[in-house]
Structure 1
Amino acid sequence: MSQHEVTLLLGSNLGNPEHNIGVALLRIEEEIGEVLRKSEVLITDPVEFVSNNIFCNIALVIKTQFSPIKLLNYVKLIERQMGRCDDTLISGEYQDRVIDIDVVFFGNLNFCCKELKIPHHKHLYQREFSRKLLGELSKH
């Protein structure tokens, strides 16, 4: 099977966010693929919604054999199993979350369906913290 390099962004602002990121990283390595590179953890204020809970964010590059949709299904499963109840695509609004895992790049693929758009334009063009984390990955 072919291997794909995929860039993910993870964020958490409920419970112990740094611990949640660590658990998600372990689950990704166990269930999805090897982590090739990761950024430092970045602490940020919530974006596009109001909350008193600060976010921990990290970007990583993994190698996986999964297709974009299969990858998305695994990512959503990890989110649900870690306690994320609401999906922004369904609810239509941003909320505090135990874990959020977004697919930013999938190799050089451009992909678009109802559930997934690659590359992830908000992280590339609208969110400063995302650009900072992604820029850090490109230095490795």
Structure 2
Amino acid sequence: MSQNKVVLLLGSNLGDQKKNLEYALQKISKSGNKISQTSEFLITEPVEFVSSNIFCNIASIIFTRLSPIQLLDFVKGIEMEMGRVNDSTSSGSYSDRIIDIDIIKYNDLKFKSKRLEIPHQKHLFERDFSKILLKNFI
């Protein structure tokens, strides 16, 4: 099975945000995925919800053998393991989170299901912080 090039965006606005992001990347790497590039950290205000907690965000390119749904299940598992309890897909709204891992691109795949949309339209075209992080990745 070949390696798939995937762009991820990670964010955290609870606890030690940078450590949360580094730990999540470490979990991704230790599970057989190759991290080939990461952006600088970017500090941003929350988007689409109100909170006094600022976000720390990072983009990463990884190579994985996982299918898109396998990768989604894998990153959701990391989020749960790290203590994330509310997922915006199931709750229908955004809230503070210890970790958020979004799949932005997966090769040149176009895919849409109830749980996953690739490419991730909001991050690519609507959110300014995402455009800043992704400018050298897309």
**TM-score, scaled relative to structure 2:** 0.98
Task: Give runs of aligned pairs for residues 37-52 of structure 1, distance below 5 A.
Answer: 37-52=37-52
Alignment-derived partner of residue 11 in structure 2: 11
SS in 2 for 1:89: helix
Shift of 1:137: 3.0
Identical aligned residues as a percent: 53
Alignment-derived partner of residue 100 in structure 1: 100
Answer yes or no: is the 8 Å Cα contact 1:32–1:71 preserved in 2: no
User: Where does structure 1 lack aligned partners over 5 or more consecutive residues?
Assistant: none
Q: Distance in 2 between matches of 1:81 and 1:17?
A: 16
**TM-score, scaled relative to structure 1:** 0.96
Q: Distance in 1 between matches of 2:32 and 2:16?
A: 23
SS in 1 for 2:52: coil
Answer yes or no: is the 8 Å Cα contact 1:41–1:58 preserved in 2: yes
Matched, 1:133 2:128: no
Per-residue CA shift, 1:22-63, capped at 9, x if unaligned? Answer: 100100101251101111000000000000001000000000
Alignment-derived partner of residue 115 in structure 1: 115
Shift of 1:2: 1.1
Alignment-derived partner of residue 82 in structure 1: 82
Runs of 4+ in 1 over 3 A off after TM superposition: none
Shift of 1:136: 3.3
Q: Distance in 2 between matches of 1:83 and 1:31?
A: 19
SS in 1 for 2:58: strand
Answer yes or no: is the 8 Å Cα contact 1:32–1:74 preserved in 2: no
Q: Aligned partner of 2:13: which letter?
A: N
Answer yes or no: is the 8 Å Cα contact 1:4–1:63 preserved in 2: yes
Answer yes or no: is the 8 Å Cα contact 1:20–1:99 preserved in 2: yes
Q: Aligned partner of 2:17: which letter?
A: P
SS in 2 for 1:136: coil
Q: Distance in 1 between matches of 2:92 and 2:115?
A: 13
Matched, 1:35 2:35: yes
User: Where does structure 2 lack aligned partners over 5 or more consecutive residues?
Assistant: none
